[in-house]
């Protein structure tokens, strides 16, 4: 007796969201200000009304604030230190110093500050070199310690781009007192203007609690990283606005796996989702590849079936990520970066070449049949597009 399986996919919802007012999230938020509102003058009164994030207690504790225009980010770090110590030079360990790292993944911008005191001029280093190309800094002694103000063109922050809503931030203050050293460290996210509201609006719209994935990755291939948030049956890309897709499943429990992988090997990540869809008296598993556009939307590059089941019968395929290999200058094969997706026919239970009536998928590459002419496929991703389908070697 022949069996026929039809699975109707749930409607794929694609949204672009606007933002509304929301509570602040942990980290340091850059408040959008008008040009000229923040001045590097050694005074901190122009920072009133901008909330600070505090790290540590006692000597060595500090508070960080951030403001921004469309072109620059401004930082104020106020350090509580009853005895600011300098002994001269830029590399000696026996003096107070502050470092700030901003970036994501393996790319960071670093600021080093040695406060000016006891007859020594302040020392500022940006990525190990004297300030320049628009980076400015000024320190000043305060009633209970000292402070440093910094202005940095947004374009000089590592991994920043027009669609970047957040970066990672780490600040370390090494306080040299009494012959020893105490280090106070502050870690968290640096949110750019509108990014906190965008995140909270996204969570509210989709009813998302704590996300399963919250990462900074380059998804659109343009300069800078984006914030990728995955939870329940939603995949979102956030900056000061947000775009997301609702995966075509009946329940969040049908989202079996989500991976974030640089398939092309050039630093641009793709999202791989593995879901189970139910309908027509059966089910199918679907693996899909997703990318983001420079407009902040999420697009599906391709999808392929890896399982079908009905009435106790099933066909199961396998798929895996295989490191891509390429030929060198002399034809020698070596690591090429990125991954190929290898899709293979697996096993069948109950169904065979005589009793299985295939209903070819119209929205994805059809499942591979163990008795079919082609029992494997290889897929590749380059620059946000998927290719392939040829048999694996």
Distance CA 197, CA 386 (A): 33
Distance CA 278, CA 286 (A): 11
CB 344 within 8 A of CB 375: yes
CB 211 within 8 A of CB 277: no
The pLDDT score that the predictor gives to residue 380 is 95
Residue 206: both structure tokens together: 């989709």
Are 42 and 184 within one domain? yes
The pLDDT score that the predictor gives to residue 43 is 85
Residue 58: both structure tokens together: 């006692």
The pLDDT score that the predictor gives to residue 275 is 98
Residue 38: both structure tokens together: 């923040």
| Domain boundary residue, one of 161, 176, 191 | 191
The verdict on residue 167 lying in a domain is yes
Distance CA 191, CA 105 (A): 16
- Cα-Cα-Cα-Cα dihedral of 280, 281, 287, 290, to 10°? 40
The pLDDT score that the predictor gives to residue 271 is 98
The pLDDT score that the predictor gives to residue 23 is 36
Per-residue HEC secondary structure of 248-277 comes to CCCCHHHEEEEEEECCCCCCCCEEEEEEEE
Instruction: Select from 332, 304, 309 the least CA-distant residue to 320.
Output: 304
| Strands, E assignment, 41-93 | 53-55, 62-68, 72-80
Distance CA 282, CA 307 (A): 11
Are 149 and 282 within one domain? no
CB 20 within 8 A of CB 201: yes
Are 130 and 50 within one domain? yes
Are 270 and 385 within one domain? yes
CB 289 within 8 A of CB 268: no
Phi, psi of 241 (to 5 degrees): -130, -170
Residues near 261 by beta carbon (within 8 Å), at least 6 away in sequence: 269, 270, 272, 321, 339
Q: Is 239 exposed, middle or buried (0-12, 13-18, 19+ CB in 10 A)?
A: buried
| Exposure b/e, 55-80, CB count within 10 A at least 16 = b | bbeebbbbbbbbbbbeebbbbbbbbb
The verdict on residue 217 lying in a domain is no
3-state class (DSSP) for residue 172: strand
Are 56 and 146 within one domain? yes
The verdict on residue 53 lying in a domain is yes
Residues near 235 by beta carbon (within 8 Å), at least 6 away in sequence: 228, 229, 244, 245, 247, 258, 271, 273, 290, 298
Are 262 and 148 within one domain? no
The pLDDT score that the predictor gives to residue 78 is 96
CB 204 within 8 A of CB 366: no
Distance CA 276, CA 306 (A): 10
Distance CA 41, CA 139 (A): 9
Residues near 132 by beta carbon (within 8 Å), at least 6 away in sequence: 126
Are 171 and 256 within one domain? no
pLDDT, the chain, mean: 89
The pLDDT score that the predictor gives to residue 155 is 96
The verdict on residue 8 lying in a domain is no
Q: Is 347 exposed, middle or buried (0-12, 13-18, 19+ CB in 10 A)?
A: exposed
CA angle (226, 230, 235) in 5-degree steps: 75
The pLDDT score that the predictor gives to residue 11 is 36
Residues near 78 by beta carbon (within 8 Å), at least 6 away in sequence: 44, 52, 62, 63, 142, 145, 146, 147
The residue range of the domain holding 68 is 28-191
The verdict on residue 245 lying in a domain is no
The verdict on residue 38 lying in a domain is yes
The verdict on residue 7 lying in a domain is no
Low-confidence ranges of the chain (pLDDT < 50): 1-14, 16, 18-25, 327-335
The verdict on residue 105 lying in a domain is yes
The pLDDT score that the predictor gives to residue 2 is 41
């Amino acid at each position: 007796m022949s069996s026929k399986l039809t699975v109707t996919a749930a409607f794929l919802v694609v949204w672009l969201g606007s933002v509304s007012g929301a509570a602040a999230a942990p980290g340091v938020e850059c408040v959008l200000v008008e040009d000229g509102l923040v001045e590097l003058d050694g005074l901190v009164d122009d920072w009133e009304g901008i909330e600070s994030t505090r790290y540590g207690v006692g000597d060595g504790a500090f508070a960080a604030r951030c403001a921004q225009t469309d072109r620059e980010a401004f930082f104020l770090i106020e350090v509580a230190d009853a005895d600011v110590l300098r002994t001269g030079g830029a590399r000696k360990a026996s003096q107070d110093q502050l470092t700030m790292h901003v970036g994501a993944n393996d790319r960071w911008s670093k600021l080093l500050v040695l406060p000016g005191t006891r007859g020594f001029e302040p020392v500022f280093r940006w990525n190990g070199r004297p300030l320049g190309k628009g980076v400015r800094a000024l320190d000043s002694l305060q009633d209970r310690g000292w402070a440093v103000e910094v202005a940095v063109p947004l374009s000089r922050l590592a991994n920043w781009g027009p669609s970047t809503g957040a970066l990672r931030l780490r600040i370390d203050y090494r306080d040299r007192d009494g012959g020893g050293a105490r280090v106070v460290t502050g870690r968290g996210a640096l949110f750019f203007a509108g990014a906190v509201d965008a995140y909270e609006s996204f969570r509210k719209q989709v009813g998302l609690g704590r996300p399963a994935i919250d990462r900074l990755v380059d998804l659109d291939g343009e300069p800078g990283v984006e914030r990728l948030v995955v939870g329940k049956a939603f995949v979102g890309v956030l900056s000061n606005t947000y775009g997301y897709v609702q995966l075509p499943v009946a329940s969040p429990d049908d989202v079996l796996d989500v991976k974030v992988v640089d398939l092309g090997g050039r630093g641009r990540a793709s999202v791989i989702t593995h879901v189970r869809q139910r309908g027509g008296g059966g089910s199918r598993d679907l693996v899909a590849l997703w990318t983001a556009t420079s407009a902040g939307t999420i697009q599906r590059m391709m999808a392929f079936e890896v399982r079908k089941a009905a009435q106790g019968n099933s066909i199961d395929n396998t798929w895996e990520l295989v490191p891509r290999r390429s030929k060198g200058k002399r034809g020698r094969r070596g690591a090429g970066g990125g991954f190929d997706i290898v899709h293979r026919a697996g096993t069948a239970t109950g169904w065979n070449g005589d009793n299985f009536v295939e209903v070819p998928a119209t929205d994805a590459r059809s499942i591979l049949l163990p008795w079919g002419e082609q029992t494997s496929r290889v897929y590749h991703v380059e620059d946000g597009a998927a290719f392939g389908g040829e048999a694996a070697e």
